[in-house]
Amino acid sequence: MPVDFTGLQCPIPISDYPNVLMAHGGGGRLTQQLIERMFLPAFENPALESLNDGAILSLDGVRVAFSTDSFVISPLFFPGGDIGSLAVHGTVNDLAMCGARPTSLSAGFILEEGLPMEDLWRIVQSMQQAVAATGATLVTGDTKVVDRGKGDGIFINTTGIGVIPDSVNVSPKRAQPGDVIIVNGAIAVHGIAIMSVREGLEFETQLKSDSASLHDLVARVLDVGGEQVHVLRDPTRGGVASATNEIASKAGIGILLHETQIPIWEEVRGACEILGFDPLYVANEGKCLAIVAREAADEVLTAMREHPLGEEAAIIGEVVADHPGRVFLRSRIGGRRVVDMLSGEQLPRIC
């Protein structure tokens, strides 16, 4: 039965945004507006409103995380990975950020007519290898083909299910003053690796995306930190700035980041300067933020550093009672500046 639109009005003022813009997919302010004004009111329910990286469900008493992500990255192949491995890492990480052990994945392919068969096959092999490394299985799939010029080679949706152990209790709302913020390594690598291919930048050594599945690192963190691990979040689109802003806003706490403590590789910093990017806003895929009670910080940091994907882990900030809902950065020279949500779109199609 068709929807009766009498008396209904589009919740995003057509006069402001008559059409969808690239920034609506950028992970910043316009994405947030789209979600908060259009999607949440339409589908309102507690799981959706938690705005976790995935939903947390109870299926006949079993606590399950369920997360979906579509991947539209350009180019399809990049140093350190391709759309196939990225599509696995992205969804596995969203499950891991819910504290779940990934068990099952689905793959939905939208292929553009004319995609070289060999490219598809390489992408599938790469997905397979990434899936095998997680211990999960890819159990169901779907393939659609669209006419030439109506897609862009291949888009992949991966959706995943994971079981959450009873001992785990992570949620953005659990961030509280006194907690510390730990990252498992240098930020902005994935975004800059992609942008440098697109812009033809050359480095002394090739910069590779750090895209990886973090399920195992997260399992170690939860093993040592238990319930003292309050929040897990992977700073993908919109980077560390957007991820911390979302947490600050949801938990009603303030966040203070320490610029000198945030690990950034020199070549990434240089590329950011050339490209005019702030590394705090650059997308990651292989990095996670753990917000943990101060008394568990050392143990969690050590556990991360002992893991191959966490050797450069560092404490980069803290949760404060001041300025609730906002993120500040204590800069290299000692000043403090606001770190806001991304308002435009600096890195289109990075995941």
Within 163-192, which residues bind a copy of itself (CB under 8 A)?
A: 163
Tokens encoding 237: 């689109």
**Window of 8-16, 175-183, 241-249, 260-268 that interacts with a copy of itself by CB under 8 A:** 8-16
| Binder among 141, 177, 178, 344 for a copy of itself (CB under 8 A) | 141
Inter-residue contact 53 to 97 (CB < 8 Å): yes
What burial letters (b/e) apply to 52-70, b meaning 16+ CB within 10 Å?
A: bbbbbeeeeeebbbbbebb
**String marking each residue 190-209 x if it binds a copy of itself according to CB under 8 A:** --------------------
Residue 346, CA atoms < 13 Å, CB-side half-sphere: 24
Q: Is 39 in the site for a copy of itself (CB under 8 A)?
A: yes
Inter-residue contact 112 to 146 (CB < 8 Å): yes
Inter-residue contact 313 to 185 (CB < 8 Å): yes
| Binder among 83, 87, 161, 186 for a copy of itself (CB under 8 A) | 161
Q: Is 344 in the site for a copy of itself (CB under 8 A)?
A: no
| Binder among 35, 274, 321, 338 for a copy of itself (CB under 8 A) | 35
Q: Is 337 in the site for a copy of itself (CB under 8 A)?
A: no
**Window of 1-9, 177-185, 280-288, 333-341 that interacts with a copy of itself by CB under 8 A:** 1-9
Residue 340 CB contacts under 8 Å (≥ 6 apart), including other chains: 241, 245, 327
Residue 144's SS3 state is: strand
Q: Rounded to whole angstroms, how far apart are CA atoms 107 and 38? A: 26
| Site residues (CB under 8 A) for a copy of itself, limited to 105-124 | 106-118, 120-122, 124
The CB-of-212 to a copy of itself minimum distance in angstroms stands at 9
**String marking each residue 282-301 x if it binds a copy of itself according to CB under 8 A:** --------------------
Size of the site for a copy of itself (CB under 8 A): 94
Inter-residue contact 197 to 79 (CB < 8 Å): yes
Question: Between 73 and 257, whose beta carbon lies closer to a copy of itself?
Answer: 73
Q: Rounded to whole angstroms, how far apart are CA atoms 271 and 120? A: 31
Q: Is 145 in the site for a copy of itself (CB under 8 A)?
A: yes
Tokens encoding 27: 């992970």
| Site residues (CB under 8 A) for a copy of itself, limited to 70-99 | 70-72, 80-81
Q: Rounded to whole angstroms, how far apart are CA atoms 94 and 100? A: 9
- In this structure, the number of other CB atoms found within 10 A of the CB of residue 21 comes to 12
The CB-of-146 to a copy of itself minimum distance in angstroms stands at 5
Q: Is 134 in the site for a copy of itself (CB under 8 A)?
A: no
